[in-house]
Structure 1
């Protein structure tokens, strides 16, 4: 059984991408509150202020630049001695249907949402295998309910998040079969109060209310609610949980389509 005395993530080291706002910012705050050392990354330099307020480190990172991932992970290991947690949160929406999507928009969405996630997992596993005391770690990838129930107006986003779901399962099975003590799970958020949604609301007034109504709870999730689920998956409280997807969607996906 795991030792649950003290803060649940004490002595653990985490990397959180997309930390400047929304779920990423909430996750940095939650993991720090739970005792972890955290390196937050983002292309947006506003992430530095988010990290500074809770005593986390910050680095500017474009997750789609796969060549930089080993140095990002290596810097975390050099600073803190190990890597225990990776939260692949950085992502973008495309807001284009199959008839409207361009090659450039498709490639950008996939480069960030799936190639960046893959590269982060690859670099993290290499580090986690070498942790003092033996291989150990937890990877949490952020998918979306749009990977389960697709949106017709965002083909690149939905399909890339669907790829994140299956990538997560493939990594979990690989690590298990190789004997690594590295778990990989996905969080599937529903309608959440994020910067992406706020910007979309500016272009389409009323969107947030419409999105909130898709949940039987009839509200948006606070990013801190999703961060709490991430902290659980990052902890030692669920050692048998890998290859899973945890819905944090206010029962959105539980509703029968006829109701």
Structure 2
């Protein structure tokens, strides 16, 4: 049977991610929840991970009530032991993982202090969660992704690192690091059959960005090639495709999925 026939068979059985186990971090709400919902609709078996335990369990229960196979496990990306416990818990029940979405991150501070007013503690916290946490989650799940034979990783970056958003230095720097990490990891994971891509959306209208100054929202919404707001659902179909077997040739790429605010 050809790979095309196999993929076609999967779609007939319930979507392009049917039969694939996908782990999504930061899945309790906002963008992470939207990613989980789209992956569930595409037939994935889901493990949702978040530091927000009550909201995470509610999201898993909601997906399950709609017919998806989903469960929640807690994780704190600032704690290496918590990350390893997450991977161990997935390994014990699922055995292998076909897709990992590194979505969890700290995104506070948009339109905040200038670089010389930024607190060292804030910088360290953002780097610990967004950069070290992404690396440690990837490291912990790599054996399970390799074992699946078709592992795919999607890292959530940000187009702020592509156009150099001001007054957002810690976050912008952390997402630039995620892009560089993606490229480097593609050369280490590729020989093991694992593809990795970074998706760089713009600012979205969701509960996690309610604090963003309206002028920053307007900057994006008037500056996009397709003008208007961007919702989490605008990026999730792209992410679902990148988790499929057919996305391996895109490994190492940084994809700005922001309706044309930046071009690369």
Residue 179 of structure 2 corresponds to residue 186 of structure 1: no
For structure 2, list consecutive stretches of 5 or more residues without a partner in the other structure: 65-69
Match of 2:47 in 1: 39
Offset from partner CA, 1:61-108 (integer Å, 9 cap, x none): 111212222221221222223111110001112423211111100011
Q: 1:8-51 CA distances to partner (integer Å, 9 max, x unpaired)?
A: 11111111011122210111101111111111111123122122
User: Which of 113, 116, 120 is the matching residue for 1:99?
Assistant: 116
What secondary structure sits across from 2:116 in the alignment? coil
Q: Secondary structure at the match of 2:134?
A: helix
Q: Aligned pair 1:50/2:59, yes or no? A: yes
Any conservation in 2 of the 1:191–1:215 contact (CA below 8 Å)? no
Work out the CA distance in 1 between the residues paired with 2:214 and 2:147.
Answer: 50
Matched, 1:229 2:241: no
**Could you tell me which residue of structure 1 aligns to residue 89 of structure 2?**
75
Report the equivalent of 1:136: 150
Q: CA deviation at 1:207?
A: 4.4
Trace 1:90-239 onto structure 2 (pairs within 5 A). Answer: 90-95=104-109, 96-131=113-148, 135-176=149-190, 179-200=191-212, 204-239=213-248
More helix by share: 2
The 8 Å contact of residues 76 and 83 in structure 2, kept in 1 or not, is answered as: no
Q: Which residue matches 1:11?
A: 19
Aligned partner of 2:67 in structure 1 is none
The alignment's TM-score, normalised by the length of structure 1, stands at: 0.89
Verify the 8 A CA contact 1:128 1:182 in the aligned structure 2.
yes
Aligned partners of 1:92, 1:215: CA distance in 2, in Å? 24
Does the residue aligned with 1:248 lie in a helix, a strand or coil? coil
